[in-house]
Structure 1
Amino acid sequence: MAENETRSVEQPSGQDTTGTGNDDDGDHSIPDAQNPKKLFDSESESGSDSDSDSDDEAQLNLQIQTLETELSSNPSHYDAHVQYIRALRKQADVEKLRQAREAMSALFPLSPELWREWARDETTLISGPEALPAIEQLYERGVSDYLSADLWCDYINFLQERDPLVRECSANGISKARSLFERAVIAAGLHVAEGSRIYEAYREFEQAIALTIGEADSESREKQIQLIRNLFFRQLSVPLASLRSTLLAYKAWEAEQGSILAVDSNSLDGLPSNIASAYQKALDLLNARTQFEEQITRKDVPDAERLSNFTTYLNFEQSFGDPARVQILYERAITDFPIYADLWLDYTRYLDKTIKTSSTVKAVYSRATRNCPWVGELWVRYLLHLERVHASEEELSTVFEKSLLCTFSGYDEYLDLFLTRVDGLRRRISLAGQTEDSLSYNLISDVFKRASDYLSPHLKNTDSLLRMYGYWACLESKLGNGIVAARGVWENLLKISGSMLGAWEGYIAMEVAHGHINEARSLYKRCYTKRFSGTGSEDICHSWLRFERELGSLEDFDVAVHKVAPRLEELQLFRTQQESKTAGSSDQRENSVKKGSREKRKLHSDLTEDQSPAKRHKNTSQNLKMTNAKEKIEAAELVEKSKIEEVEVISTKTESAGKTETNNQSTRKPKHYNDQCTAFISNLSIQATYEHLRAFFSDVGGVVAIRILTDKFTGKSRGLAYVDFSDDEHLAAALAKNKQNLLGKRVSITRSDPRQSKRKGTVAPNTTSKHGFSDNETGNSGQSDLKDAASRSKRNSGSQAQANSQKRRDERVELKGRNTFALPRAVRPLGWSAQKPGGSEDDGDEKPKSNEEFRKMLKKN
């Protein structure tokens, strides 16, 4: 886009930048060709002394070196090219100047002023018959870039002065000149402001030919007079700015031929009826456009306003429905605003609808993509137009490869370009019998592979990439290598965007469409446990059930229900937890607002000051009881929900009864993980961090989260970790790294299996998990493979466990009957003691109270 910004500075201004004025006499002396330096002397002051010349020369050389360095690093800098050409022109380095102009022309369309300057320099520098074709080629290149009446006039004058055949009015020369004039009239003859210059030059040429015809050859002379009269009629029929002066010139010419007309009057009396009616119609058209012409030719208004005026003028011309006049106005607009993309888009869209000449539309598309190469839509429509006019495969391929070298604003534009190319190839392959050239499907496959390699990293998990892969798989199955290749396409997509529900649904839909029920069922079994965004996880479960209900047997339906039902319950539980958290957060915010409003009405400090010390102490004791009771309930719920066989309860005592500060930390519930694609790492160095683990598995890829187990008392690593992967393929690659060294220790890597731990009755110890990073995290998954981790944790925290055991011995707790030693002291029934007075040791344990009973006791207290 830097190119766009720099080019906007150098807008065509319609002024001569050659430094030689606007004279079109073309009378350049031959000695100038022998001394190129003399060509540019007019740009420097004639009165400068030798010292000043040497200083200017050194400064100019420095400027040229700087510009050469800049262009070598950034060839797309438009202004640097312009400045470099001007500097070389001052230095009169002809060869480097030619190379600089060719280099710029290869990258950008040159403005009419640059083309006029280039052609005039070459006309002065070279002479002889061999120079004529080269300079004619320069003019041809110039008039094809932008519309310029000045450039057409220069071209015509050059041909009349330098071409011997035209100068001598030979038959071939006259034919060549007339052909050029007709081209100029078609290109610029409808230019309201400057089109009359082309007609006037044409008339002058024909009048000069009439003078060469002798009086004796009356037939030829009459034909030439009629030809000139027809030129006047053509010019008077066009709404041009000089319409009235053209009428006067026509009357004067007719008077020379013997007609009696009012030469000095704009009256139409005496004119042929056809000419009078054509003139009056053209005059009406001119009057209707005069206001618009004044608006677009003003130079003292901002470009945005001028562009808006052009748009209004274009809408006006389109309402008349004259395609030639609309096209000439578009050409005038893009000459003034060459890098305004919307203008090119409107222009090409109009041509596609109205112009049937393929060469004209193709040339406009070529110029549009050169002026605005960063607009992907222009390239797409260019390819479509070439296909529409049955262009060759070579031409289509060339345009497509050029488009891939451009820089677009978004990756979707690249995708649209790739798909447009594939569309064209598919259509041509389908019509292989009706066309001369037959194409191979390998062309389509190559385009898809290039698109996948370039776009997959940028369009991961997007519908655009899914659309491309779905199209690819469809063509593989129909035109390519069959269903096996199509499955390979879908599998590649799952590696890139396996977390997208649409990828799995598209894959399954293809298998169902081909009647492969078992393959579709295996895909459901692979994906129903995956986590998808939104309600995707539930949707895939219900989709499997519908699939089995409609296409499967009863046994298949029962298997699907057996697998899907627990998954749906798990997802529902998770949704409920998330909703409760959201509701709790909103309630907390609402309570905070209410509390703030109450505190504004009645300050808490005033209440505290009014209370007596005894009452404040009583309130503090009540708060302490309420806090302890709340902790008892939470601990009891934790024991009942988790079914923990061994719990270490750490009770804290207050230092003095008079202290009002209590430990209000709520008991944390351990976070559970439902390990599905998880590796269990043991024998890990305690210095290992999640960065080390991430680097260790960097060659594997697919790491979703890392959890390092730490001791809950010391916070140090226990040498154990879990690493979650995105799919089974990455997990298998990670398991292959078993017994490899990490920080000097040979780590053991196994697959985590929480179901096996549940069958053995193993419960994860209360550990802290450090997450290095996590892309997908849920709160309803459980840990696994902690059987040996529990024993290691006991060794690490042996001192604390020994202290807890000493506490139980001091309290002389006797365990009888059912296993109640794991019941925390904080939730024992009120009045319970180790030895009941008057009781027997064989009476058995008293049944612990339930959570509801605790709540009732709390309310009574």
Structure 2
Amino acid sequence: MDQNESLTLTAEAELTKDQAMPDSDEKMEENHPLTADDENHKDKAMSDSDDSDSEDEAQQNLLLESLQTELAANPSNYDGHLQYIKLLRRTGDVDKLIRAREAMSELFPLSPEMWHQWIKDELSLSTASRPEAFSRILKLYERGVFDYLSISLWCDYINFVKEFDPMVRQCTPTGISKARDLFESALTAAGLHVAEGSKIWEAYRQYEQAILLTTDDTDAQAKEKQVQRIRSLFHRQLSVPLADMSSTLTAYKAWEAEQRNLQDVETIDLVDIYPHVASSYQKALEMYNARFHLEEQILSLNVSDSEKLQHYMNYLKFEQSYGMPARIQVLYERAITDFPISLDLWLDYTRYLDNTLKVGNIVSNVYSRATKNCPWVGELWIRYMLSLERGHTSEKDLSEIFEKSLQCTFSTVEEYLDLFLTRVDGLRRRMTSSSKEDLEYKIIRETFERASDYLSPHLKNTEGLLHLYMYWARLETKLGKDVTAARGVWENCLKICGSMLQSWTGYIAMEVELGHINEARSIYKRCYSKRLSGTGSEDICHSWLRFEREFGTLEDFDHASLKVTPRLEELQLFRIHQESKSAEENEKNLKRNAREKRKLGSDITEEPTPSKRLKDIGNTKKAPEENKYQQQNTSQVSKVEGVNWNNPSGQQFNHEKNRAYSDKCTAFISNLHPTANYEHIRNFFSDVGGIVAIRILHDKFTGKSRGLAYVDFLDDEHLAAALAKNKQKLIGKKLSIARSDPRRGGRESSNPKTLTEHADTFNHSGKKSAVSKETDDAYKGDVKDAKFSSRKQENDNIQLRGKNTFAVPRNVRPLGFTANKPIAEDGDEKPKSNEEFRKMFIR
């Protein structure tokens, strides 16, 4: 019988009753000869069976090819590996089965059941007594007990060595030493297992007792030495809290009675013979009783996985309170055997080992298994590399682990960034340490280059990527001793993060630190007119002036002032214009809402208040050019990303639905900083997500923020997450966040006609709307070589020339109103009486 036939018989050893029927038919034929019709029926049945078998075989081959193709494209498909191995066992293809198991073991740790099955198949294929077969199966056992803690696998491992290792079986000195080393390894791994650890202890004692029986009776010294060894094993086991300790004590008393030739076992009292053993046993018994209810909880079959995991965590906290690392580690191993892909469990386990053991093969082995069970967690890979560095692992091994980590798929790009930085940190420490390992700086440079190529498209204009470039440039000057290369790093950084103020100031700081004042001044000349995020444009101008005060001559300071002053004035005017435009649009919205209210409130009988009658008397008409500009703004506000603002769905709604917000999923925010805008609020809730609109309340006369805002969310889940950020700070002020409830009455958010607001709206694809772009991001475009022109005093028009004159209208009015020239709003006229309004709407 060849290997394929043997494996097939092993996989199909358990036949059903129907599959065993042909044997019964053969016996029936012997007693009852078949007729011609019976023989025809039998031949037909056998033919149908052969056809069915061929069809099944064809289907299996198709499924095998499909699984093989799928695993080649996606090797991390765990279930695909299981199905593939199961089919190969059924077909009996030994070579493919071995390769499939090896491939799966490379990527994933195998369960104890899978190792049992693999070893069983290997035993059926060859004779274990052969040296090559014995060595192969022995390695399988070693790999199996490494993946997970399994008492049954350890016991099988020990029995296999005792049965098939000739030196161990014959009790030669070398064989005895080998067996004892194996038993001690088993005790280290599983001897403290409260529920099943006694199985290892008993197997160990039985082996030592077998050696005692083979000892020559004439060699009294050797015999006494073996007796002491067995007694020591009993004493060690009795000092460990294990299940069924009373049976162990009874067995020990019986053994002692046999050695002392005593007939009555009850006459043996440990206190009299070995007081320290009795004390250790009593202490172990108390420890077991304290853990009994915890053991019952984790061994219970009537609890859910989440409850069982929580029981393990409670048990671990209990063990950690005693502070016995070996016992805690065994309990962790038991937990991860039951929950191999629990991220929190692996993180907790590795963190404990880092804090207690810090170095050694034990920690690195645990990290190796952790990254195979949870390869998608970047934090585990980072800790793994740090653990190897603490253990003074070679550069080759560290590089191999780093390359493996880059092949994994992480949930965020920042995890890849942390991996690259951890790798560079380790290389830098090795280069600067006094170790004999010789590393070249080019390894660090290549690592930075790989990080830049991979991360730059995903982390453009972010602090993480900027930190990477700053780190890179500093190492180029400190370790690489190449200032030209450092400048090249900064130039590359400016191409990707050029809108960030820190990228320019960092470049300048490096040149100043190196004493290159002229090079630093040239960078200021390049960037003072650039468009930078936030207040970066103003900050870089002020930074240049401070630089010239500290390092430049008077001529240098005058030159910088000549360049910077017009730029600062231009930026200030632009800010004023943005605030003025925002105030005017808010006031126009109030006017429009007021007119809609009058139209909808035709049944109102009360007289308007005197303040409403005299509100806009004496307002003058706007200049035609300014009216044209504001009409353009109104048309832009009326539509957002091609969607009608008043009727986004394209259907006809009544005015009552359009005139008020429902506030069903709205957060009310107070104590806002006066300078907080929509971008600040949106960034504040970026981790929450689901923002539909942002409405900031402004004073209707000055246009300044009132420190209040409403934020609409998609659903209650996002709203609840937003409410959880209550009392967190934004621009130095602690926000008060509460759910908006229009049923209380008196809420300004329930009626948009009574507040000054802007809706920062997003379309279905998540892109920023045109309204937000115009109010918050109008300050766009390239800002180079700005030139400032003077005002025209005749008409108060401000004209800006050069590349900085983006998004600036021809007329710029100061914020607010002037007493001498009140501004007339579009559509204002002499106030009408209630009767006049009634007649107008009846028409």
Q: Same fold by TM (over 0.5)?
A: yes
Match of 2:135 in 1: 133
Deviation at 1:216, TM superposition (A): 2.5
1:130 Cα deviation after fit: 2.3
Partner of 2:9: 38
Distance in 1 (CA, whole Å) between partners of 2:550 and 2:604 is 67
Paired residues for 1:393-432 under 5 Å: 393-431=395-433
What's the % identity of the aligned pairs? Answer: 58
Could you tell me which amino acid in structure 2 is paired with residue 445 of structure 1? R
State whether residues 428 and 444 of structure 2, in contact with CA within 8 Å, keep that contact through their aligned partners in structure 1: yes
Aligned residue number for residue 659 of structure 2: none
Q: Would the alpha carbon gap of residues 448 and 779 (structure 1) be closer, same or farther in structure 2, given more than 3 Å must change?
A: same
Deviation at 1:205, TM superposition (A): 1.0
> How many angstroms apart in 2 are the aligned matches of 1:271 and 1:97?
58
Aligned pairs for 1:389-538 (under 5 A) are 389-431=391-433, 434-538=434-538
Deviations 1:193-227 (A, max 9, x none): 11111111111111111122243232222222211
Matched, 1:68 2:68: yes
Assess if the C-alpha contact under 8 Å between 2:257 and 2:268 holds in 1: no
The alpha-carbon deviation at position 499 of structure 1 amounts to: 1.1
What does residue 338 of structure 1 align with?
A: 340
1:630 corresponds to which of 621, 628, 636: 621
Indicate the SS of the match to 1:192: coil
Rounded to whole Å, the distance in 2 between the matches of 1:859 and 1:87 is 87
- CA separation of 1:268 and 1:55: change in aligned 2, threshold 3 A: farther
Give 1:234 deviation, angstroms.
Answer: 1.0
Report deviation, 1:755.
8.6
1:543 Cα deviation (Å)? 1.3
User: CA 1:483–1:282 in 2, change beyond 3 Å: closer, same or farther?
Assistant: same
Aligned equivalent of 1:571: 571
Query: What amino acid is aligned across from residue 179 of structure 2 in structure 1?
Result: A
Q: For 1:42, give the aligned amino acid.
A: A
Q: Deviations over 1:235-263 (max 9, x none)?
A: 11111112122112212222222365875
> Does 2:164 align with 1:162?
yes
CA separation of 1:755 and 1:351: change in aligned 2, threshold 3 A:
closer
Alpha carbons of 1:109 and 1:575: their partners in 2 closer, same or farther (altered >3 Å)?
Answer: same
TM-score by structure 2 length?
A: 0.68
Alpha carbons 1:43, 1:90 under 8 Å: kept: no
Deviation at 1:603, TM superposition (A): 4.0
Residues matched between the structures, number: 623
| Cα distance change, pair 626–853 in 1 and its aligned pair in 2 (3 A) | closer
Tell me the alpha carbon deviations over residues 274-312 of structure 1, each in whole angstroms, 9 at most, x when there is no partner.
221111111111111111111112233222221111111
C-alpha displacement of 1:79:
0.9
What residue number does 1:194 align with? 196
Structure 2 segments unaligned to the other structure (5+ residues):
23-45, 608-616, 630-779, 793-798, 811-819, 831-843
Name the structure 2 match of 1:303. 305
The equivalent of 1:273 in structure 2 is 275
Deviation at 1:503? Answer: 0.5
Q: Residue type matched to 1:779 in 2?
A: A
User: What is the aligned partner in structure 1 of residue 250 from structure 2?
Assistant: 248
Alignment of 1:708-727 (within 5 A): none
Distance 2:3 2:602 in 1: 101
Equivalent residues of 1:40, 1:89 under 8 A apart = yes
Mapping for residues 579-598 of structure 1, pairs under 5 Å? 579-592=579-592, 594-595=594-595
Residues 375 and 637 (structure 1 numbering): CA distance in 2 closer, same or farther, change over 3 Å? closer
**3-state SS in 1 of match to 2:13:** helix
Aligned equivalents of 1:292, 1:331: Cα separation in 2: 16
Name the SS for the 1:42 alignment partner: coil
- Partners of 2:190 and 2:330 within 8 A in 1: yes
1:780 matched to 2:823? The reply is no
Q: Secondary structure of the residue that 1:630 maps to in structure 2?
A: coil
* One of 174, 177, 187 as aligned partner of 2:176: 174
Q: Which amino acid aligns with 2:297?
A: Q
Contact 1:237/1:282, CA 8 A, preserved across alignment: yes
Normalising by the residue count of structure 1, what TM-score does the alignment of the two structures yield?
0.67
> Residues 566, 859 of structure 1: CA spacing in aligned structure 2 closer, same or farther, 3 A cutoff?
farther
Higher RCO, 1 vs 2 (CA within 8 Å, ≥6 residues apart): 2
- Provide the C-alpha distance between the structure 1 equivalents of 2:822 and 2:593, rounded to a whole number of angstroms: 34
Which residue does 2:154 correspond to in 1?
A: 152
Q: Is the 8 A contact 2:460 2:497 kept in 1?
A: yes
| Aligned-partner residue type, residue 126 of structure 1 | S
Query: What SS is found at the alignment partner of 1:438?
Result: coil
Distance 2:319 2:261 in 1: 37
Against the structure 1 CA distance between its residues 199 and 268, is the aligned structure 2 distance closer, same or farther, given a 3 Å change threshold?
same
Q: Distance in 2 between matches of 1:282 and 1:549?
A: 77
Give 5+ residue unaligned stretches, structure 1.
Answer: 1-29, 608-624, 640-723, 729-751, 760-765, 767-773, 783-850
Maintained 8 Å contact 2:548/2:560: yes
Residue 186 of structure 2 aligns with an amino acid whose one-letter code is A
Displacement of 1:58 after TM fit?
4.3
The one-letter code matched in structure 1 to 2:11 is F
- Does residue 540 (structure 1) correspond to residue 534 (structure 2)? The answer is no
For 1:353 and 1:265, locate their aligned partners in 2 and report how far apart those are by CA, in whole Å: 49
Residue matched to 1:184 = 186
Residue pair 2:511, 2:519 contacting (<8 A) in 1 also: yes
CA contact (8 A) 1:191 1:329 kept: yes
Match of 2:117 in 1: 117
Partner Cα distance (1:495, 1:221) in 2: 83
Secondary structure of the structure 2 residue equivalent to 1:533 = coil
CA RMSD of aligned residues (A): 3.7
**Distance in 1 (alpha carbons) for counterparts of 2:293 and 2:15:** 42
Sort the Cα spacing of 1:506 and 1:357 in 2 relative to 1 into closer, same or farther, 3 A: closer
The answer (yes or no) to whether the contact 1:67–1:80 under 8 Å persists in 2 is: yes
- C-alpha contact 2:5 2:92 (8 A) present in aligned 1: no
Describe the superposition over 1:394-433 as per-residue Cα deviations: whole angstroms up to 9, x where unpaired.
11111111111111111111111111111111122122xx
The Cα of 1:72 is off from its aligned counterpart by: 2.2
Contact 2:385-2:398 at 8 Å conserved across structures: yes
The DSSP-based 3-state class of the residue aligned with 1:241 is coil
Q: What is the Cα deviation at residue 727 of structure 1?
A: 8.4
Closer, same or farther in 2 for the Cα pair 1:604/1:245, shift >3 Å? Answer: same
Q: 1:601 to 1:167 in 2, by over 3 A?
A: same
Distance change >3 Å, CA 541–CA 398, structure 1 → 2: same
Measured in 2, the distance between the counterparts of 1:457 and 1:602 equals 58
Question: Does structure 2 conserve the Cα–Cα contact (< 8 Å) formed by 1:238 and 1:282?
Answer: yes
Shift, 1:100, TM fit? 1.0
How far 1:482 moved relative to its partner?
A: 2.4
> Which amino acid in the other structure matches residue 450 of structure 1?
R
1:599 Cα deviation from its structure 2 partner = 5.3
Separation in 2 of the partners of 1:47 and 1:577? Answer: 90
Paired amino acid for 1:161: E
Is residue 528–residue 564 contact of structure 1 (8 Å, CA) maintained in 2? yes
Q: How many angstroms apart in 2 are the aligned matches of 1:303 and 1:854?
A: 71
What corresponds to 2:677 in structure 1?
none
CA distance in 2, matches of 1:143, 1:167: 22
Matched, 1:80 2:104: no
User: Structure 1: how far apart are the matches of 2:263 and 2:313?
Assistant: 42
Structure 2: distance between partners of 1:572 and 1:446: 45
CA distance in 1, matches of 2:61, 2:158: 37
Change (3 A) 1:256 1:265: closer
Alignment map for 1:339-354 (pairs within 5 Å): 339-354=341-356
Could you say which residue in structure 2 is the equivalent of 1:829? Answer: none
**Matches of 1:153 and 1:63 in 2, distance apart?**
37
What amino acid sits opposite 1:630 in the alignment?
Answer: K
1:383 deviates by 1.5
Output one character per residue of 1:518-564: Cα deviation in whole Å (capped at 9) or x when no partner. Answer: 22121111111111122111111111122122222222222222211
Alignment-derived partner of residue 382 in structure 1: 384
Bigger Rg, which one:
1
